[in-house]
Structure 1
Amino acid sequence: MKSAQSIKELQQLVGNQIAAEAEKIGKTNPVNLYQPIDYTLNMGGKRLRPVMLLLACDLFSGDVQNALPAAIAVEVFHNFTLLHDDIMDHAEIRRNRPAVHKKYSENVAILSGDAMSIKAYQYLLTVDHPNIQEVTRLFSKTAIEVCEGQQYDMDFETRLDVSIDEYLEMIRLKTAVLIAGSFKMGALLGNASQEDAERLYQFGINLGLAFQLQDDLLDVFADQNKFGKKIGGDIIANKKTFLLLQALASANREQKAELQDWIDRKEFNPEEKINAVKNIYIDLKLQHISQQKSNELYQKAMEEIDAINVHSDRKQAIIKLAQMIMKREK
């Protein structure tokens, strides 16, 4: 049995392939449709989701090179969602560069994003594997669930009665299913058993939930230069994050009134709002509570991967990737 490939090797493989595809796309007409895609794909990033797919394929000694187009499909789809998310969230910065809708226009970002979603399927359908129909069905299921999660996220903007369980379901759809789907697609392309493929999916769900809770924390408490996007965006947008929902549930009367006042205000100084809400979170020790919940979900993920019927040595790269995700710069 060949040795497992490293995260670094797979990141390089994906990065080289993305660069080659972006160069081809950037030279395609109409330029105003395809240049923003080139710009997006060249923004960088850790390429975590395609690496997850390839690591899962390699875990079961599958043909990583044959699975590469599926990994590219996942990355292109993920970046398409970011184009549209940035418009809906009014986010101006992505990976320390102007978001596509700010560099070009909203209309351009919408149409280029649409093209990316279609291109993702074009890459996926070049994979030659007996399980490609099942992989494509999973990809489609994942894609529509991501849209459902985004809709719930938008619905929550106008609701004050969102429960923590509803929030966790929203982030399962918006974030975790793409991570889980990437792992399971790779497992299927690696000829894993249905049981092991499902375990890897559940591993991805729990890791994805833990990842999003960590992301919520970083949005408030991170160093902006290390995080790669503007801090406090969730607070400015009144996003119903775990932190805000927990604050509304546990705040005293004065804290709750202050939170509600900031939520209701139409005009405010952004830095003042961020600092005021952040101080309430600190007073309520929500950084610790949120981190504890994230850690619990991470442990559930580890239990799933422990149960997979593969020698533990071959699991180390996936475990290392999970650890890397959970120890991002703050």
Structure 2
Amino acid sequence: MSTYIMPADNNTKFKSAMFLLTGIPGQEDVYLWISIPFCLMYVISIVGNSVILFIIKTDPSLHEPMYIFLSMLAVTDLGLSISTIPTTLGIFLFNSREISLNACFAQLFFIHSFSYIESSVLLLMAFDRFIAICNPLRYASILTPPRIYRMGLLFVLRSLALIFPLPFLLKRFRYCRANVLSHSYCLHQEVMKMACSDITVNSIYGFTIKLLSVGLDSLFIFFSYVMILKTVLSVTSPTECLRALNTCVSHLWAVLLFYIPDIGLSVIHRFGNSSSHLLQIILGYVYLLVPPLMNPVVYSVKSKHLRARIIRVFFNCFWEAP
């Protein structure tokens, strides 16, 4: 496969440049077989999150803060999955590696936006658990639906505002280096390294917004659970203590599934130039594919109320089918 290399002269037009995406190096002969688990993961992610949204929307008994936040998480996971589907499946099904600069910039905008929104939703869900356990008597009065929607809108606007400059900062560069990306989708921290211009502004800005969003969100989530643990340990009854902690298990899984690969991938891109290329690729897939896949599964298993509603809907559909 030939590699596109842009000339370094001043007349270079960035619009004529193309990036080459990468699937799994050395496994090109079995891409069709590799596409099967990827297709299954995408189908499960989209169907699972869509079912959760449908159940929460149609069941008035689930119009509670916890489930409203869960529906926000499902929408975000759908956005993440849809953002990566075209290029990832394009590589494994059709070996289509080329992506134009504008398409690449658009994809990284949506990927990073939904990623930052998911971090914000996880923070809101931690706040929900904090209020439910530490101040249960005021839970309903604090987390009213209008207030929840305003908080959600605020965090969405924050994420969009932080990510909005990235495509424009990248668009001003000339791309004259070997333009083979490490993933089957575009990420800012990797695309900026393809430029033959000074990327100091992009590097500083990208690191700053990471700290102001994911960094602060993870810090506040940590403090929330410190306060939750302190409150739970003050409960004299072991049964009540375990019951309170059990309400946090699903959220803790979602937090770990999102933040561990996210932070790991950021560290590798910025400081791990000597790290294994295969590790970087695998971590990239885990970062964007596993949370949307596992979140609906984990919440459906751990939430008895939600699980009962899902079973009832499928049971009714099965028996009403001709």
Do the structures match in fold with TM over 0.5? no
Higher relative contact order (CA 8 A, sep 6+): 2
TM-score by length of 1: 0.33
Bigger Rg over Cα: 2
